Amino acid sequence: MNITKVGEGKVVLIAGGGKIYTDLAARFTRSEKGLVELLSSEDDAKLVRTIVDKGHLAATEFDYFLFGVEGYSRVTEAQLVRKRLASYLIKSGRIEKHGRRSFDVAVPDGILDHKCSCKLKNGDSIELDGHDLLDLTEQWYNSGVNAGLREEDLRYLKPEATEFKALIGMNAHALLDWFKIRCCQNAQAEIRDMAWKMLRLCKQAAPELFETAGPSCVSLGYCPENDFQNKHCHVIRKDAAMKILQDYSKK
């Protein structure tokens, strides 16, 4: 069994950045130049920054980014695919690795050592910690495979900690929106880790697109969560920011 701790997942930028097409898309709608002339002109990073700052993000949908991720749990997979404006290719969990099955999991710190007295079906009690539960599940799973049971049925009892590997594709507009939600301190720790790693790669590959990207408070200047604001976040709340603006408008 391979155990990865939450925070150790890997994110790789496979494609994206370099030539940026947001400025081309924006200039195409307004410029009197023909396509050939537009294509031969240099990228305009200042225009891209202006587009993002103004929130005119339709043009950012012409820049696409492809990531590879591994070392994350099925818990995070379920949250990830809620973002519908994206493409996902999830690696099969049933594929044999040269005749060896690998029971890979990703778990947060602090839970594996927790012990509990568990009552068995025959009435006996046994004390188990998280390591024991994972070991027993792996043994049960492998026994089922050896007994000829179908893996698509056996995996119903695999833990949510089971690792998933995937290719993720999103355009820049979808990424900017996703970072607002998943880089926030209210996001679950593992998917927040993935989001920040993706954001750092995007900032390196296309700084003009993602210079001001991040959680909502970064782009808005206030926290939109109001009563649900994370206790570790000290950005001004939306209701307080709106009151300041309202009071100012009355002057």
Q: Among residues 231, 198, 228, 227, which one has the least CA distance to residue 214? A: 198
Helix (H) / strand (E) element for 10: namely: strand 10-15
Q: Is 182 a catalytic residue?
A: yes
Point out the catalytic residue in the list 182, 192, 200, 237: 182
* Helix (H) or strand (E) segment spanning residue 23: helix 22-30
Task: Kindly provide the residue ranges of all beta strands, DSSP E only, lying in 74-148, ordered along the sequence.
Answer: 87-90, 104-107, 116-119, 125-128
The answer to whether 52 and 176 have CB atoms below 8 angstroms apart is yes
Between the two ends of the chain, the Cα-to-Cα distance in Å is 66
For 170, phi then psi, to 5°, come to: -145, 145
Q: Which residues, 6 or more positions from 37, have their beta carbon under 8 angstroms from its beta carbon? A: none
Task: Please tell me whether residue 67 adopts helix, strand or coil conformation.
Answer: strand
Residues marked active site are found at 182
